[in-house]
C-alpha cells in the first residue's frame, strides 16, 4: 500500500480531516459562495448548475467554467472544490492547473467514461468520490480518492437514499470487524474490493479516509440525521440555494451539523426557516433519471 504511505497522501487526507464536522455547500457563482462562507460553510463546491436544475433542464452536465471557479476562489478564503465528470481526467487536469483545493469526481455530471474512473493517485490535488456501498467506496479509495461521500440522490431534496447508502457502508464495515481472515478473502470478492483495503477496514472498523454524506440534505434535521448515522461532515447541494431562504438555511444547517447530538439546538436551528426545496419521491423516478447509478 505504498500509494497510501507517503506525504502527498497524508496531506490529501489531512485536508479532508480539517473539513470534518462541517458543511460543504454547492454554489454556482461568487455571490452564492460569499453567502455560504458567511453562513459558516467549511468549503464550497463550484458547479455549473445545482443538481435539481440539471435534473429539470437535462442536457450534458459538465465541469463549471474556469472563469466562474476562479471568481469563486478569489471571493472566499475557505477551500474551493469543483466537480468533474466520472472518468474525465482532462477536466481534472484543468482543475488541478486552476489550483482548486479538492476535486469531486461526481455522478451529478454526465459521465465521460462508463467503465473507468479517474486514476486519482496520479494527481497532486485530492479527490472525493461518491459511493452507495462499501465495495464502491473501497474501489474509489483504491484509485486514490482521499474522501468518500454517500451518493444519495442528488437534487431530490429527499434524504432516503443518503440514509440507505450511509447505513449500507457503516453496516458492511461493522460486519467486516466480526469476520476471520479466510472470510475476509471471500468478502473482498463479494464486495469487489481490494483485499488489503477490506483487511484494513476489518481491523479499524472505519474507512481509511473520512466518510461524508451527500445527496438529498434539505433541512437541519436531515443534516443531523446523517451525522448520527456515521457521516463525518455534510455536503448540501440544491437544498440551500433552491430554498426560499438560502442564507438563513445555510446557517441553520451549519448549526445543526455542529450540534447534531443536541436536539434542542437542532430545534432552534429548524425554527423560523422558510420553505425547504420541494423535493421528489425517489420511488417515482425512473431508472434512467437516477444519478446514483452512474459510476460503479
Partner 1 sequence: MASERKIGILAIQGDYEAHAKALDRLGAAHTYVRRAEDLAGLGGIILPGGESTTHLKVMKEEGLFDALKQFSANGGAFFGTCAGAILLAREVHNPPQASLGLLDISILRNGYGRQLASDVHLGPTKLHKEPLEMVFIRAPIIESVGEGIEVLAEDASHPVLVQKDRVLAATFHPELTNDATVHKHFLSLLPRNGKS
User: Using CA atoms, how far apart are residues 241 and 40, in angstroms rounded to an integer?
Assistant: 15
- By CB under 8 A, which span of 51-59, 71-79, 217-225, 236-244 interacts with partner 1? 71-79
Site for partner 1 in 152-171 (CB under 8 A): none
- Which of 4, 25, 30, 42 forms a contact with partner 1 (CB under 8 A)? 42
Q: Please report how close the Cβ of residue 27 comes to partner 1 at its closest, in angstroms.
A: 15
Sign, CA dihedral 172-177-178-184, equals positive
Residue found under cell 429548524: 270
Sheet holding 234-236, edge to edge: 211-212, 147-150, 127-131, 102-106, 80-85, 43-46, 23-27, 234-236
| 253 scored as a contact of partner 1 (CB under 8 A) | no
State yes or no: is 288 an active-site residue. no
Q: How many of the chain's residues bind partner 1 (CB under 8 A)?
A: 37
| 194 scored as a contact of partner 1 (CB under 8 A) | no
Encoded one letter per residue, x for contact with partner 1 by CB under 8 A and - for no contact, window 211-250 reads: ----------------------------------------
Given 12, 56, 83, 264, which residue is catalytic?
Answer: 83
- Which residues make Cβ contacts (< 8 Å) with residue 41, sequence separation at least 6? 22, 23, 24, 25, 78, 250, 254
Secondary structure of 107-120 as H, E, C letters: CCCCCCCCCCCCCH
- Which of 70, 121, 175, 259 forms a contact with partner 1 (CB under 8 A)? 259
Q: Please report how close the Cβ of residue 210 comes to partner 1 at its closest, in angstroms.
A: 10
Q: Please report how close the Cβ of residue 99 comes to partner 1 at its closest, in angstroms.
A: 5
Q: Which is nearer to partner 1, 1 or 11 (CB)?
A: 11
Q: Please report how close the Cβ of residue 14 comes to partner 1 at its closest, in angstroms.
A: 5
| 118 scored as a contact of partner 1 (CB under 8 A) | no
Other C-beta atoms lying within 10 Å of the C-beta of residue 164:
19
Q: Please report how close the Cβ of residue 163 comes to partner 1 at its closest, in angstroms.
A: 22
C-alpha distances in angstroms, 177 versus 132, 180, 188, 195, 202?
Answer: 20, 8, 13, 14, 4
Sign, CA dihedral 88-90-91-93, equals positive
- Angle (CA) 162-168-170 rounded to 5° is 100
- Which of 18, 65, 185, 267 forms a contact with partner 1 (CB under 8 A)? 18
Cα-based torsion angle of the residue sequence 61, 159, 226, 81 in order, rounded to the nearest 10 degrees:
10
- Which of 96, 199, 245, 289 forms a contact with partner 1 (CB under 8 A)? 96
Residues that bind partner 1 (CB under 8 A): 7, 10-11, 14-15, 17-22, 37-43, 73, 77-79, 96, 99-102, 124-126, 251, 254-255, 257-259, 262
- Catalytic site residues? 83
Amino acid at each position: 500500500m505504498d500509494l497510501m504511505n507517503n506525504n502527498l497522501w497524508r496531506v490529501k487526507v489531512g485536508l479532508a480531516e480539517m473539513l470534518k464536522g462541517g458543511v460543504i455547500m454547492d454554489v454556482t457563482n461568487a455571490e452564492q459562495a460569499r453567502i455560504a462562507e458567511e453562513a459558516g460553510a467549511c468549503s464550497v463546491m463550484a458547479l455549473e448548475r445545482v443538481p435539481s436544475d440539471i435534473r429539470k433542464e437535462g442536457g450534458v452536465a459538465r465541469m463549471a467554467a474556469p472563469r466562474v471557479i476562479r471568481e469563486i476562489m478569489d471571493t472566499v478564503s475557505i477551500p474551493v472544490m469543483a466537480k468533474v465528470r466520472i472518468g474525465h481526467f482532462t477536466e481534472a487536469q484543468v482543475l488541478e492547473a486552476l489550483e482548486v483545493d479538492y476535486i469531486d469526481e461526481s455522478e451529478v455530471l454526465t459521465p465521460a467514461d462508463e467503465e473507468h474512473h479517474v486514476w486519482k493517485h496520479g494527481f497532486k490535488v485530492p479527490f472525493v468520490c461518491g459511493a452507495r456501498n462499501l465495495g464502491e467506496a473501497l474501489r474509489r479509495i483504491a484509485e486514490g480518492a482521499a474522501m468518500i461521500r454517500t451518493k444519495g440522490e442528488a437534487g431530490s431534496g429527499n434524504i432516503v437514499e443518503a440514509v440507505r447508502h450511509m447505513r449500507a457502508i457503516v453496516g458492511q464495515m461493522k460486519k467486516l470487524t466480526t469476520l476471520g481472515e479466510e472470510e475476509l478473502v471471500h468478502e473482498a470478492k463479494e464486495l469487489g474490493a481490494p483485499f488489503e483495503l477490506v483487511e484494513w477496514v476489518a481491523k479499524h472498523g472505519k474507512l481509511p479516509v473520512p466518510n461524508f454524506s451527500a445527496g438529498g440534505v434539505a433541512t437541519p434535521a436531515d443534516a443531523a440525521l446523517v451525522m448520527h448515522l456515521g457521516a463525518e461532515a455534510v455536503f448540501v447541494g440544491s437544498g440551500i440555494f433552491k430554498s426560499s431562504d438560502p442564507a438563513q438555511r445555510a446557517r441553520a444547517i451549519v448549526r445543526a451539523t455542529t450540534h447534531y447530538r443536541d436536539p434542542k439546538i437542532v430545534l432552534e436551528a429548524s425554527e423560523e426557516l422558510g420553505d425547504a426545496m420541494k423535493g421528489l419521491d425517489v420511488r417515482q423516478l425512473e431508472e434512467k433519471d437516477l444519478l446514483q447509478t452512474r459510476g460503479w
